Structure 1
Amino acid sequence: MPLVDHADLLAAAESVEPLPHTVARLATLVADPDSDIREITETVSLDVSLTADLLRRANSAALGHRSTITSVRDAVVRLGPSTLLSLTLASRIGGRMLQALPAYGLRPGALWERAVAASIAAEVIRSRARVQVPAEVSTAALLHDFGKVVLAQHFGKQILDSLALAAETDGTDVTETERVVFGVTHADIGGTVAEAWGLPLTIVDGIRDHHEVHEDLSAVSAAVGLACAMSYEITAPEDDPEEPESHATRRKVAPLLRILRLDPDEYHRIVATSRERYDELAERYAG
């Protein structure tokens, strides 16, 4: 029997501060293959804060362009809809993911670093998978571990320490221990938050199912799960010991590769490409 009130925890997830309406609308448009750049441009233009942020990012030296972008439409074209959505969400929720999470072995900033790494990996996976993977996969990957933030905010240090100790004592991965202690996992909580935010079902399922492995898994869920596994390798120094959670995640890689019709030897090539892009991004934004 779970040690906490299941309904109370889900209520906490649903009460997370909502996203601005324009962000949810933008997510819906990116997930709709029939939407066009005009609709996306109009949605962004209605939000003054989002417009200013978009133009700033589109003109960032980190993008390696010299010409100045002055219109929302040109900014959308330069960034691309999926990158635009990820950047928009990052500006709204990134700060919440900077805290340390000792129960998960995460120092301050590590959760956000892995979120960015997973988002980058998801985009590379999408470009190489031999099945159609929707554009919103990078956003689902960016948010895949947000449920950990909710758990950390909802529970005191004592319960979270008990979670880490239980996982270590039982020799199980933290996700399974969450199921026993809380009755749900951080993936379930993250999916509930995304649903409460009004994000598309593909993103909700991608977050909720990123630790699942079965034949009916969607391409988004498989890609997010694979990106999650890769995020450990992308962000960790090569001489760091492998963490228990990353080891458990890696065991699920082969079935995910099959769902996406990727050859096993492509795993390390995707990791290498993603790490290069991640390191380049980190270097350009350093300081």
Structure 2
Amino acid sequence: MTTTTPLVDRADLLASAESVEPLPHTVARLATLVADPDADIREITETVSLDVSLTADLLRRANSAALGHRGTITSVRDAVVRLGPSTLLSLTLASRVGGRMMQALPAYGLRPGALWQRSVAASIAAELIRSRARVPVPPEVGTAALLHDFGMVVLAQHFGKQILDSLALAAATDGTDIVETERVVFGLTHADIGGTVAEAWGLPLTIVDGIRDHHETHGDLSTVSAAVGVACAMSYEVITRDADPSELETQVARRREVTPLLGILRLDHDDYHSIVATARERFDEVADRYGA
């Protein structure tokens, strides 16, 4: 692109990101506990128990048929044990921010609900990456993947349709990646904005970095950032089954781009394909049950 000076006020955009409606204290506290390897189940249980709506939602999820028939769960502690802290955190964030991610985002080629589908797919993929990576990956990776594109929502709220349409047109005209176009037009990317929101929410630094770095591909990223980057690439394949030839070419390009990230996680391209296949099955189960 020929423009070198951002067309918007960077400080104004950052202020908009920081002013996004805060998360309930319970959710931020839960995120901190899940990211703390020394936190125990009693602290997590006590935190959840202080939030009546969260407790009700947790018990409903824990008793979902999707988790099998293993007896009715009636206590918060048993629900936390059944779901696991990382799944609990992802579900909690999903219930708080999912509605905001249902809007259409034409500048990114996303119809209503598509961003939410892709976010859920990325979270599922991230959990699978965590279970198969040959290095330790912290449990909050699923939440970072769920929120990785939330910055797009902030940009959509901050700017009118005309500016976002111009963003898409500029990327298409110059043949430039949409992320690079954001950087030129806004001085920031949706990843930067998403990281700023997560920081304003008081989420752990691992989640903030995982969101902010999810388009980075250098070899010295954290395992959370690497896993979120790979999960982002996988999410397109998880929700796309019958891709046209041009999309197949794009998928191959994405896999090539995340090769350094696979190295950080000590995974290979066979692992990549296997995780995508399993993530598709799990995504279908979630979509059928919860309308993802």
TM-score range, shorter chain: over 0.9
Q: Which runs of 5+ in 1 are unaligned?
A: none
Checking the alignment, whether the CA contact within 8 Å between 1:173 and 1:244 is kept in structure 2 is no
How far apart are residue 64 of structure 1 and its match? Answer: 2.2
How far apart are residue 285 of structure 1 and its match? Answer: 3.0
Q: Which runs of 5+ in 2 are unaligned?
A: none
More deviation, 90-99/245-254 = 245-254
Matched, 1:23 2:32: no
Residues 176, 246 of structure 1: alpha-carbon distance in 2 compared, 3 angstrom cutoff:
farther
Matched, 1:104 2:108: yes
Q: Residue 76 of structure 1 corresponds to which residue in structure 2?
A: 80
Q: 2:143 aligns with which of 129, 139, 144?
A: 139
1:41-60 matches, within 5 Å, as 41-60=45-64
Report the secondary structure of 1:69's partner residue: coil
Q: 2:262 aligns with which of 243, 257, 267?
A: 257
Question: How high is the TM-score relative to the length of structure 2?
Answer: 0.95
Matched length: 287
Residues 286, 271 of structure 1: alpha-carbon distance in 2 compared, 3 angstrom cutoff:
same
Checking the alignment, whether the CA contact within 8 Å between 2:54 and 2:92 is kept in structure 1 is yes
Letter in 1 for 2:285: E
Checking the alignment, whether the CA contact within 8 Å between 1:211 and 1:249 is kept in structure 2 is no
RMSD of Structure 2 on Structure 1 (CA)? 1.6
Residues 92, 245 of structure 1: alpha-carbon distance in 2 compared, 3 angstrom cutoff:
farther
Residues 193, 246 of structure 1: alpha-carbon distance in 2 compared, 3 angstrom cutoff:
farther
Q: Which runs of 4+ in 1 moved over 3 A?
A: 243-251
Letter in 2 for 1:7: A
**CA distance in 1 between partners of 2:29 and 2:250 (Å):** 34
Q: Residue 274 of structure 2 corresponds to which residue in structure 1?
A: 269
Matched, 1:177 2:181: yes
Residues 41, 215 of structure 1: alpha-carbon distance in 2 compared, 3 angstrom cutoff:
same
Report the secondary structure of 1:242's partner residue: helix
Residues 283, 263 of structure 1: alpha-carbon distance in 2 compared, 3 angstrom cutoff:
same
Question: How high is the TM-score relative to the length of structure 1?
Answer: 0.96
**CA distance in 2 between partners of 1:100 and 1:5 (Å):** 25
Residues 247, 15 of structure 1: alpha-carbon distance in 2 compared, 3 angstrom cutoff:
farther
Matched, 1:216 2:220: yes
Checking the alignment, whether the CA contact within 8 Å between 2:219 and 2:261 is kept in structure 1 is no
Q: Residue 32 of structure 1 corresponds to which residue in structure 2?
A: 36
How far apart are residue 215 of structure 1 and its match? Answer: 2.1
**CA distance in 2 between partners of 1:195 and 1:249 (Å):** 28
1:95-244 matches, within 5 Å, as 95-240=99-244, 241-242=246-247
Residues 18, 286 of structure 1: alpha-carbon distance in 2 compared, 3 angstrom cutoff:
closer
How far apart are residue 263 of structure 1 and its match? Answer: 1.6
Q: Residue 85 of structure 1 corresponds to which residue in structure 2?
A: 89
**CA distance in 2 between partners of 1:110 and 1:97 (Å):** 8
Residues 209, 245 of structure 1: alpha-carbon distance in 2 compared, 3 angstrom cutoff:
farther
Instruction: Show CA shifts across 1:8-63 (max 9, x none).
Output: 00000000000000100000000000101000000001111111111111112232
Checking the alignment, whether the CA contact within 8 Å between 1:100 and 1:106 is kept in structure 2 is yes
More deviation, 152-161/231-240 = 231-240
Residues 286, 187 of structure 1: alpha-carbon distance in 2 compared, 3 angstrom cutoff:
closer
Report the secondary structure of 2:172's partner residue: helix
**CA distance in 2 between partners of 1:269 and 1:246 (Å):** 15
**CA distance in 1 between partners of 2:71 and 2:144 (Å):** 31
How far apart are residue 239 of structure 1 and its match? Answer: 3.3
Letter in 2 for 1:50: L
